[in-house]
Amino acid sequence: MATNSTDLPPQPVAAPELAPSLRNRADQSNSPYIQGQINSPVAWQLLDDEAVERAKRENKLIFLNIGFKACHYCRLTAIDSFSHPECASLLNEAFVPVIVDREERPDLDTIYMNYVQAVNGAGGWPLNPFLTPELEPNPGAGKTAADVSSELDLDQLEEAYSHIAGTFDPVYGGFGLAPKFPVPAKLSFLLRLPHYLHPVQDVVGPTECAHATEMALFTLRKIRDSGLRDHVGGCGFARYSITPDWSIPHFEKLTSDNALLLGLYLDAWLISNGDKDGELYDVVVELADYFSSPPMRLPGGGFASSEAADSYYRRGDTDVREGAFHLWTRKERTTHVLADHTERQAKALLPLARTEG
């Protein structure tokens, strides 16, 4: 006797397959920055197909953390934020947390840094954009870039000049307020502007082109004489200053920044006069020597990617602090600055002296 299908007992419905719970995968990376997060309660994923597929499957945004080993604030963020159980729980449950070393993937760092700077007007590390599962910056975080023509509109050069000149600091050089970055790209643009073809100069204006060179050279001189330049360790420039007058640096030094500054100071020297006794020649030589000598030149022939901001005060210390190698302790200041100088000299030096402890 045939059985009506409606009389059949209900068939069991298979339970949806659950994705394996997130686990911290930092131990799968060779990056020293990522390996530093092995014990983090955040279940850091690597940027690979596994992480992307999980984000698609679970319909979650990717929380991207881009940093590097020598970054002082990357270390502080790991301690102050990512180590907290509530923060880690939120990231693990609501997002797919992914960690990237900018020194392994400078291409990704450039892409997302450009986006953050375009949206927020500034950017830095650690860089923490939210991404869709397609690795696009979350459109909810700000405006999305419109389609850009492949042809260069000369009016854009005039707009770029006006924007840069509008943020120029005529007292200390540089652009905008603290924190202040050397921004080699802006300085290179200003320095080269008078040397572009005549149509460019006609659009921007001859007076403006001359002023562009003045702004660039003025800023380069200020940076040369500033606390951004390492007068203690030999050479190289710190990444940025926390003060408008360039007096107090954030102490990490990036090879990429200094390489750009080497080319920039070389161009400035050639534009000035190109003489060995001329202005800025000493900076060019020092930077070239910096890259060709330890600690930046490594035994195997490569180059170190950065010098960390955090260091020890003296041998035997167990804790590192930002810029400790470059700073006087109060005792050292009293012993060396006040003892070895006249009262008048000491008063002149003390405003420039940073002390710790």
The verdict on pTM exceeding 0.75 is no
Reported in sequence order, the residue ranges of the chain that DSSP labels E, i.e. its strands, are 61-67, 95-101, 130-131, 240-241, 249-250, 253-254, 306-307, 310-311, 321-322, 328-329, 355-356
Give 120-143 as a DSSP string. HS---SSB--EE-TTSPBPGGGSP
Tell me which of 342 and 214 has the higher pLDDT: 214
The pLDDT assigned to 335 comes to 74
- With pLDDT > 90 as the criterion, what percentage of the chain qualifies? 54
Phi, psi of 64 (to 5 degrees): -100, 130
What does the DSSP 8-state code read for residue 60? Answer: -
Please classify residue 112 by burial: count the beta carbons closer than 10 Å to its beta carbon, then call 0-12 exposed, 13-18 middle and 19+ buried. buried
Q: Please report which confidence band the pLDDT of residue 93 belongs to, taking 50, 70 and 90 as the band edges.
A: very high
CATH code reported for the domain at 154-308 = 1.50.10.10
- As beta bridge partners, residue 127 has 66
Fold of the CATH domain 26-139: Glutaredoxin (3.40.30)
The pLDDT assigned to 151 comes to 56
- As beta bridge partners, residue 66 has 100, 127
Contact, 240 vs 269, CB < 8 A? no
| Tens digits of residue pLDDT in 208-265 | 999 999 999 999 999 999 999 998 766 899 999 999 999 999 888 999 999 999 999 9
Q: Where are the domains of the chain?
A: 26-139, 154-308
The pLDDT assigned to 15 comes to 40
